[in-house]
Amino acid sequence: MRDGHVNLLCKIVAILVMIFLVAPLLIIIVVSFTPTAVITFPPQGFSLRWYANIFTGTGKFMSGLVNSLKVGVLATAIDVFVGVFGALSICRYNFKGKNVLLNYFTSPMYVPSIAFAFVLLQVYSQIGGITGMTRVFIGHLIIILPYIVRNTVSVLHVFNWTLEDAAASLGANPIQVFFKVTIPLAKPGIVSGGILAFLYSFDEVALSSLLSSPRFVTLPIRIMNYMELTFDPTLAAISTLLILASLIIIVLMDKFVGLDMFMK
């Protein structure tokens, strides 16, 4: 092959990029088992003390985790309805300005989340009396909506709408058509959009750091606060658990919905 060494060059770059991507994560996993407070590599021995420290230490990681899950699940659950309805309104009907409406629904993607966070902070401080959870929740509700709308639209875009008519002509009422035909066929888009939206909320920092209150702090902010005070391997232990959670999610997704959804 004449293009043999071009392919070889690409292969070498690809492998180096893979090493570059994985290295910091592997390092975190390895050092999480260090017995000493100062990180040395390779670790001198093996210990699970930093894992125990996640639960017993000063980091309050568990309350952070609960808060992150609360906000993420609630915002995703509501946005799945709001976003899927919005996507249906764009794809199911013919009217002028469909593209304008789609751009409107995905507009939070184009706004730097730090700018939106600052704006919400100012509005909240004028209104007053809003709890930390509500403040963060409203921010997340808005910034994750585009992911659900976009992924659902990308499925509905190629949807065969005559299937709805067929179901109706076979005697299904509109509600049956919606739940037994439309929703099952749109499911890949809804599920992938929902997963992306939840992960975005779970990892979100800009909004959470400006809007959280001392009584309501999400997990990423807990980790960042801990970093500023103590730089011990507890951070590696909690990070390892988060990396493992991501790995499990990716394996489950590969098995049940496929990984193609990320490649759009």
Partner 1 sequence: MDRKRQAFLLALPASLALLVFFIIPMVYILFKTIAENGFSDFVDFFTDPFYLDILWTTVRVSLISTAVSLVLGYPTAYFMARTKSRMKKVMIIIILFPFLVSAVVRSYGWMVLLGTKGIVNQFLLGIGLISEPLKMLNTEFAVIIGMIHLLIPYMVLGLLGVLQSIDPNVEYAAYSLGANPLQTFAKVVFPLSTPGIISSCVLVFTMSMTSYVTPKLLGGSKFRMMATMVVQEINVSFDWGAAAAISYILLAVILVIQLIVTLSTSKYMKRMGGGKNA
Q: How far apart are CA 9 and CA 61, in angstroms?
A: 44
76-115 positions binding partner 1, by CB under 8 A: 81-83, 85-86, 88-90, 92-93, 95, 101, 104-105, 107-108, 110-115
- Binds partner 1 (CB under 8 A): choice among 36, 235, 252, 256: 235
Residues 29-48 that bind partner 1 (CB under 8 A): 31, 38-41
Give Cα separations from 262 to 114, 147, 191, 244, 250 (angstroms). Answer: 25, 11, 12, 19, 11
Binding of partner 1 by 220 (CB under 8 A): yes
CA–CA gap between residue 234 and residue 91 (Å, rounded)? 48
Cβ closer to partner 1: 2 or 170? 2
CB of 73 to partner 1, least distance (A): 17
Residue numbers 238-257 binding partner 1 by CB under 8 A: 239, 242-243, 246-247, 249-250, 254
Please say which residue, 191 or 210, places its beta carbon nearer to partner 1: 210
Pick one of 168, 172, 185, 206: the residue that binds partner 1 (CB under 8 A): 206
* Residue 122 binds to partner 1 (criterion: CB under 8 A): yes
- One character per residue 142-181, x = contact with partner 1 (rule: CB under 8 A): x--x---x--------------------------------
* 73 vs 111, beta carbon nearer partner 1: 111
Rounded-to-integer distance, Cα 217 and Cα 65, Å: 9
Secondary structure (H, E, C), 173-227: CHHHHHHHHHHHHHHHHHHHHHHHHHHHHHHCCHHHHHHCECCECCHHHHHHHHH
Q: How far apart are CA 92 and CA 9, in angstroms?
A: 47
Rounded-to-integer distance, Cα 140 and Cα 224, Å: 19
Q: Which is nearer to partner 1, 104 or 179 (CB)?
A: 104
